[in-house]
């Protein structure tokens, strides 16, 4: 299944259209080092914490960002590596 197909679904309307199928964002993440990725994720988390606490968008995005941090800190399997790439591609931060 194409990674962009996995992003389509009931929550697809919550994501800005430029995040889906953005090949440049995916390439940018592949070129970044682990520390750069962590820094970018932490910056995005700071931005999400500025949004209202009851924002479902912010809550979901923070969950995704936490999952990314978790995957960055462990020895990853191939499926976890693929999941991490999909998460990065969907965020385009």
pTM for this entry: 0.61
- Cα dihedral 29, 31, 35, 39 sign: negative
**If you ran DSSP here, which 8-state letter would residue 50 be given?**
T
Give the tens place of pLDDT for each residue, 18-64. 343 444 444 566 677 888 889 999 999 999 999 998 999 999 999 99
Closest by CA to 41, choosing from 87, 80, 82, is 87
Cα–Cα distances (Å) from 37 to 6, 12, 43, in that order, read: 22, 24, 10
Residue ranges covered by each domain of the chain: 38-93
pLDDT of residue 24: 46
């Amino acid at each position: 299944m194409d990674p962009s197909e996995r992003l389509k679904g009931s929550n697809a309307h919550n994501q800005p259209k430029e995040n889906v199928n953005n090949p440049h964002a995916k390439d940018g993440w592949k070129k970044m080092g682990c520390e750069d990725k962590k820094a970018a994720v932490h910056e995005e988390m700071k931005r999400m914490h500025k949004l209202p606490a009851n924002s479902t968008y912010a809550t979901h995005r923070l969950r995704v960002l936490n999952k990314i941090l978790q995957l960055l800190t462990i020895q990853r399997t191939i499926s976890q590596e693929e999941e991490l790439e999909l998460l990065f591609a969907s965020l385009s931060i």
